[in-house]
Amino acid sequence: MHPRKASQLATFDKMSRTYDEMMRAELSRAVRPDRYGLLRSVSAVISLPIVTFGALMSDVSYALTARTSDDDWERAFPTRRDSEPPPIEG
């Protein structure tokens, strides 16, 4: 496996664990208004779908990155100078 790909997958794995912890904490706050207070529980209910969507996008990114070939990570992308259009004469 290409080192940059392995590094990116490790980053996505770390993000996934972070999202799991955030979802667990928000769910705990949402179902325990007696412990955390009503305002905090309502804000947890509102933020839980947002955190869940972020976790889903992180998992999709991991899956797509894992499917790439090592050749894709070896590509040399054009520099800015190479990608500029030719000057207009006239």
Q: What are the tokens at 87?
A: 């000057």
pTM attached to this predicted model: 0.70
Please tell me whether residue 87 adopts helix, strand or coil conformation: coil
Q: Which amino acid is at 68?
A: T
Domain-wise residue ranges, the chain: 16-68
C-beta separation of 40 from 29 below 8 A: yes
Render each residue's pLDDT in the chain as its tens digit; 90 residues.
888 889 999 999 999 999 999 999 999 999 998 998 999 999 999 999 999 999 999 999 999 999 988 887 887 766 666 566 667 876
